[in-house]
Structure 1
Amino acid sequence: MAVLLGKDTRVLVQGMTGRAGTFYTDLAMRYGSTYVAGVRPGKAGTTHLDLPVFDGVREAAEATGANASLVLVPPHKAAAAMIEAIEAGIGLVVCVTERVPVHDMLRVRAALNGSETQLVGPNSQGVLAPGLCKIGVMSTADAQPGRVGIVSRSASLTSEIVAQTTAAKLGQSTTIGVGGDPIHGIGFRRCLELFKDDPATEGVILIGEIGGSEEEAAADYLASVDYGKPVVALVVGRHAPAQRRMGHAGTLAVLGGGTADAKLRRLQEAGAVIARNADEVAGLMRKALGPA
């Protein structure tokens, strides 16, 4: 099993005919994921990568049975694309677009209220269930099916930890990149809930960053339940200067809040195993899980 997606996931791509859409759709299909349609206004009735192209998401979903969407459109159009997918009743929407305006994301957040859609992103690497399905731009080079769920705000560190867990013969059940923007879809807490209920996930690796409150929300959740599975947490940015933005829009520590040490302290108090450096993560998870 996996969380969010699986063998029954049928993906449509909003923006499939563009350069990025073409490249990543082709990669995902070569990996074995089931992609069924593209959406590009004005190109209905054509085909691209041997898939039908539709003017709208609802039309595409009704014709193909798509239940997931990958949003690969420019930042100024990304919110409208996400809202269209939400209003069409798509169960999973993954947006990898960077630099979506914050005000636009407030409209997306409002559209999510009361819907059954789970949004991953924006500014996300996507979601990968090794051997089953890939939605997004995440590398599959080192991914292997396995026992560990990974949820991350950092794209580069995701690739590193996937490679580590594969080398340690742990593998991954599902890897989720929640994105680095301050306003986004599902976060650490929701991913921890999903992994808790997934029998294929025996342990969880959480990769955080300075800024925002994702890690604190995860700590509050872990402290409130008997999680029953080991959680290894890595939060990077311990040496970053305060009050200075470091890459991601959400990566900003102000007036002592959102620092790496504060986040790690909260997570440790909630029962997580703390990795001080990236190269410790897989070893700590293997030790926490015990013999296979």
Structure 2
Amino acid sequence: MAILISENTKVLIQGITGREGSARTRFMLEYGTKVLAGVSPGRGGSEVWGVPVFNSVKEAAEEFGPVDASVTFVPGPQVKKAVIEAIEAGVSFVVVPAERVPLHDSLEMIAMARREGARILGPGSLGLLSAGKAAMGWEKIILTTRYTLAAVGLPLVSA
């Protein structure tokens, strides 16, 4: 299985100014994740935990260059728009923690990702963790108490 996130992965947070986006960004930064920028339409020019906020993924990519991955902290009905925006801006890996994403939206996102050579983890994903290196999405309690660096990796999937 390919390593999808490392200490060098350049991560963007969509929905960074919301409650979940802000809290999880802080946890990811504390864990060592390389969070380049956040996106919240209408809030460009602000900062969250020292991370600059842009109005769109395209604006963030123009400022920082290619973004490797995005994690979306937006409500289920808004996920499709966020994922499409990320993929259109050249992001090749998107983590979607949100639940209650309409099925048809999920199918459209997956089809687009396949066409564009991108990957989506979710909807309904806890996130992704490379022990001791970087994380996308996870809650602080999970990041700090359960996983340590080892020679073997184990992908976990809930049904």
Q: Does the alignment reach a TM-score above 0.5?
A: yes
Residue deviations 1:238-276 (CA, integer Å, cap 9, x gap): xxxxxxxxxxxxxxxxxxxxxxxxxxxxxxxxxxxxxxx
Higher relative contact order (CA 8 A, sep 6+): 2
Q: Could you tell me which amino acid in structure 2 is paired with residue 110 of structure 1?
A: A
SS of equivalent to 1:128: strand
Match of 1:186 in 2: none
Residue deviations 1:212-253 (CA, integer Å, cap 9, x gap): xxxxxxxxxxxxxxxxxxxxxxxxxxxxxxxxxxxxxxxxxx
Q: In structure 2, how many angstroms separate the alpha carbons of the residues matched to 1:29 and 1:104?
A: 30
- Structure number with greater Rg is 1
Give how far 1:153 is off.
2.2
Identity among equivalent pairs (%): 40
Give how far 1:62 is off.
2.4
Q: In structure 1, how many angstroms separate the alpha carbons of the residues matched to 2:43 and 2:130?
A: 31
Relative to the length of structure 2, the TM-score reads 0.90
Relative to the length of structure 1, the TM-score reads 0.51
> Which consecutive residues of structure 1, in runs of 5 or more, have no partner in the other structure?
155-179, 181-292
Match of 1:59 in 2: 59
Alignment RMSD (CA, Å)? 1.4
- 4+ aligned runs moved over 6 Å, structure 1: none
Task: Please list, as runs of the form range in 1=range in 2, the aligned pairs for 1:39-50 lying within 5 A after superposition.
Answer: 39-50=39-50
Task: Please list, as runs of the form range in 1=range in 2, the aligned pairs for 1:194-273 lying within 5 A after superposition.
Answer: none
Match of 2:117 in 1: 116
Task: Please list, as runs of the form range in 1=range in 2, the aligned pairs for 1:146-157 lying within 5 A after superposition.
Answer: 146-154=150-158
SS of equivalent to 2:37: strand
Q: In structure 2, how many angstroms separate the alpha carbons of the residues matched to 1:110 and 1:91?
A: 14
Match of 1:142 in 2: 146
Give how far 1:87 is off.
1.2
SS of equivalent to 1:13: strand
Give how far 1:86 is off.
1.1
Q: Tell whether the 8 Å contact from 1:61 to 1:67 is kept in structure 2 after alignment.
A: no
> Which consecutive residues of structure 2, in runs of 5 or more, have no partner in the other structure?
none
Q: In structure 1, how many angstroms separate the alpha carbons of the residues matched to 2:9 and 2:74?
A: 21
Matched, 1:5 2:9: no
